[in-house]
């Protein structure tokens, strides 16, 4: 049974937004996120209908509940858990719809990520901006794709590159 979008909590809206953004920016896949009961107590169901991917999330699933609770209690972990959720639960179900070069890159990236982890923090002013975007989305003032684009613009200014420092010329 589907959960109407106007019945979604702010945490559910935020998770749908994050998953849409991650799948679009990291895997180049356009998806629609929906919430509803899934048979056999599955946490995720991916369907390809009329050329569009639809990802169903079970709000009663323990993994989904954990991620939703992070939005309220440990926001700094929310984004990384969302990315982990995409890699471990969603990607295996949609791999055949991901462009092949992206799939190979994502599989290599997954192996690398499983070896090392780094922590980062959002600036509090960025969080305020993101929350206003989510509020506009929840009030149907902007679409999911507009929210994803606006979020990308906010988070892009905080990108940090890590690499070897060039040798000191002597």
Walk me through the domains of the chain, giving residue ranges and CATH numbers: 2-100+107-115 (1.20.120)
What is the per-residue pLDDT for 144?
A: 78
Compute CA distances 35 → 21, 93, 104, 110, whole Å: 17, 17, 29, 26
Average pLDDT over residues 4-8: 90
Q: Judge contact between 87 and 95, C-beta under 8 A.
A: no
pLDDT greater than 90 at residue 139: no
pLDDT greater than 80 at residue 27: yes
pLDDT tens for residues 47-96?
988 888 999 999 988 899 999 999 989 888 898 899 999 999 999 899 88
| Backbone CA torsion sign across 82, 88, 93, 99 | positive
pLDDT greater than 90 at residue 138: no
Helix (H) or strand (E) holding 56: strand 52-57
The SS3 call for residue 106 is helix
Q: Shortest CA distance to 22 belongs to which of 79, 101, 94?
A: 79
pTM of the complete model beyond 0.75: no
As given in the structure block, the two tokens for residue 90 are 């969603």
Of the chain, the percentage scoring pLDDT greater than 70 comes to 72
What is the per-residue pLDDT for 61?
A: 87
Strand pairing partners for 48? 53
pLDDT greater than 60 at residue 121: no
pLDDT tier for residue 13 given thresholds of 50, 70 and 90: very high
- The contacts of residue 10 (CB under 8 Å, 6+ apart) are 71, 134, 138
Q: Shortest CA distance to 29 belongs to which of 39, 37, 17, 21?
A: 21
């Amino acid at each position: 049974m589907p959960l109407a979008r106007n019945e979604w909590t702010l945490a559910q809206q935020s998770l749908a937004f994050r998953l849409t953004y991650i799948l679009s920016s990291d895997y180049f896949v356009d998806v629609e996120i929906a919430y509803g009961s899934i048979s056999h107590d599955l946490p995720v169901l991916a369907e390809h209908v009329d050329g569009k991917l639809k990802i169903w999330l079970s709000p009663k699933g323990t993994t989904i509940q954990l991620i939703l609770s992070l939005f309220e209690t440990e926001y700094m972990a929310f984004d990384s858990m969302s990315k982990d959720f995409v890699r471990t639960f969603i990607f295996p179900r949609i791999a055949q719809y991901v462009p092949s070069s992206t799939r190979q890159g994502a599989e290599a990236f997954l192996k690398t990520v499983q070896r090392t982890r780094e922590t980062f923090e959002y600036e509090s002013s960025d969080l305020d901006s993101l929350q206003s975007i989510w509020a506009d989305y929840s009030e149907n003032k902007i679409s999911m794709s507009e929210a994803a684009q606006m979020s990308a613009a906010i988070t892009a200014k905080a990108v940090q590159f890590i690499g070897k420092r060039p040798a000191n010329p002597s």
